Amino acid sequence: MARKTKIIATLGPASATPEVIGAMITAGLDVARLNFSHGDHASHRRMIELVRAAAGERDRAVAILQDIQGPRIRVGTFPDGSVDLVTGSRVRLLPGAGEGDAGRVFVRQLAAMRLKPGDRVLCADGMIVLAVVSPGEEVMAEVVTGGRLADHKGVAVPGVEVHLPAVTSKDKADLAFGREMGIDLVAASFVTKGEDIRRVRAVAGDVPVIAKIERAEAVTNLGDILAEADGAMVARGDLGVELGFEPLPRVQKEIIARTHDAGGISITATEMLESMVQSPRPTRAEVTDVANAVLDGSDAVMLSAETAVGKHPVRTIEVMAGICTEAERTP
């Protein structure tokens, strides 16, 4: 039985050679995702050329998905690539993209969050929690839950509106590059309403636009978004930070069902086979998660770090293909 569920895999350092990309295609890769939060146009051009060459050699059609950064707020850098923030300590948040340390963390677009005393600032997919003590141009915060914070990690403040344009100047340049390269799909990050999709489409041109649902506001405005988008991605990383972990399974099912009702493409993403970044075998929970995403009706399932920086990118594709095929046997 031919597999119906498509497999999207993110390309990165672990999958940047003709040999690995070719093997991933043979293993079942359907869509190559390029994360425009990282890399430059030269590196993305090379990846696109490698995918197209490898697909052509195998007489396979492999689509290119351009995932734009959107209005994402990120920390700056640290001398050794990361820093330990200790629970109970205090840290100053400074505007800009400079190099920080355990007592100072630079945050791009810091002012766009308009922080207030008591606001919770979540970093590193919510693993690190800061509480705002005194806001201002520089923000003093207490480390409520510490941990290791790496360069360029994302920052979120659940329930706080971020005052940034839906399509940034970087996005416009990246979308122009995508049009030049003839990419097949665009994933729009951090959208909150249908107007955001229209703004992306105005720059992206005549390609399908997938709305990444990763803000609580996007869940609330899902109908408005689906009226404009060609599909929706359940982006469980940032969505889990926004909503908390407990509602995610229910919200995932809701997004997939409503996307189908609107005639769109549904994609489920984030940590699907995360243990395979290191291990050649998935956990049983991961196998069940991927299968349930298929049973929920996902048109595609997506791999991120597993194939971008993981040790087993080809094996991960093989495993995901096998799980999807088996799940599709369900009556």
What's the CATH code of the domain at 141? 2.40.33.10
Helix (H) or strand (E) holding 57: helix 41-57
Residues 58 and 92 grouped into a single domain? no
Residues 235 and 314 in one domain: yes
- Asked, for residue 77, whether it belongs to a domain, the answer is no
Q: Which of 156, 189, 217 is the last residue of a domain?
A: 156
User: In this structure, are 170 and 152 located in the same domain?
Assistant: no
Q: Which structural domain range is residue 136 located in?
A: 82-156
Strands, E assignment, the chain:
6-10, 31-35, 63-67, 82-85, 90-95, 104-107, 120-123, 128-134, 139-145, 147-150, 155-156, 185-188, 209-213, 231-235, 265-269, 300-303
Number of domains in the chain: 2
Q: Which two tokens stand for residue 66?
A: 């351009």
Q: Is residue 101, in this structure, part of any structural domain at all?
A: yes
Report the CATH number at residue 291: 3.20.20.60
User: Would you say the pTM of this structure is higher than 0.85?
Assistant: yes
Digitized pLDDT (tens) for each residue of the chain, 331 residues in all: 799 999 999 999 999 999 999 999 999 999 999 999 999 999 999 999 999 999 999 999 999 999 999 998 999 999 999 999 999 999 999 999 899 999 999 999 899 989 999 999 999 888 999 999 999 999 999 999 999 999 999 999 887 888 889 999 999 999 999 999 999 999 999 999 999 999 999 999 999 999 999 999 999 999 999 999 999 999 999 999 989 899 999 999 999 999 999 999 999 999 999 999 999 999 999 999 999 999 999 999 999 999 999 999 999 999 999 999 999 998 8
Active site members: 33, 74, 212, 270
Cα–Cα distance measured from residue 174 to residue 186, given in angstroms and rounded to the nearest whole number: 11
